[in-house]
């Protein structure tokens, strides 16, 4: 079992709620908008993986940074969820979780 699955259910609730919101977007709003993401994996896949790997707080900030990079003049290409949190990230400085300018190409 991976680490998130070993945590008690009460601790996993925010993570599950965040992933539920991503799934709700995928199956309700996304089909009407069509494929518009400039990155691979898509923004919703990125958000789902970031939240499942790092939790709602850190993963949500990573997903927000990714969504804000995905605009016509923004970044494009391969952009994967990092394997570990950035060394400069602390919970009280949430903007440090996200990459706001570049893409990360290593899987």
Q: Residue 103: inside a domain, yes or no?
A: no
Q: Residue 41: inside a domain, yes or no?
A: yes
Query: Could you tell me which of 5, 68, 81 has the C-alpha nearest to residue 37?
Result: 68
Q: Residue 45: inside a domain, yes or no?
A: yes
In angstroms, the CA 15 to CA 52 distance is 6
In angstroms, the CA 107 to CA 96 distance is 20
pLDDT score at 19: 95
Q: How far is CA 64 from CA 59, 100, 102, in A?
A: 9, 9, 14
pLDDT score at 59: 94
Q: What is the pLDDT along the chain (107 residues), one digit of tens a residue?
A: 445 567 788 888 999 999 999 999 999 988 888 777 788 898 999 999 999 999 999 999 999 999 888 877 778 888 899 999 988 888 888 888 888 777 665 55
Q: How far is CA 54 from CA 30, 77, 81, in A?
A: 24, 23, 10
Q: Residue 102: inside a domain, yes or no?
A: no
Which residues span the domain enclosing 90?
Answer: 36-96
Q: Residue 24: inside a domain, yes or no?
A: no
pLDDT score at 18: 95
Q: Residue 29: inside a domain, yes or no?
A: no
Q: What is the number of structural domains in the chain? A: 1
Query: Could you tell me which of 92, 94, 93, 46 has the C-alpha nearest to residue 69?
Result: 46
Q: Residue 3: inside a domain, yes or no?
A: no
Sorted by sequence, the CB contacts under 8 Å of residue 43 that are 6+ apart come out as: 37, 63, 66, 67, 70
Q: Residue 7: inside a domain, yes or no?
A: no
């Amino acid at each position: 079992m991976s680490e998130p699955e070993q945590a008690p259910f009460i601790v996993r609730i925010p993570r599950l709620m965040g992933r539920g919101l991503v799934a709700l977007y995928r199956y309700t709003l996304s089909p009407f908008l069509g494929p518009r993401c400039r990155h691979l994996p898509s923004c919703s896949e990125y958000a789902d993986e970031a939240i499942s790997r790092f939790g709602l707080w850190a993963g949500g900030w990573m997903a927000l940074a990714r969504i804000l990079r995905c605009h016509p003049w923004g970044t494009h290409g391969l952009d994967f969820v990092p394997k570990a949190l950035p060394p400069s990230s602390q919970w009280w400085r949430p903007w440090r979780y996200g990459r706001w300018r570049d893409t990360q190409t290593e899987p």
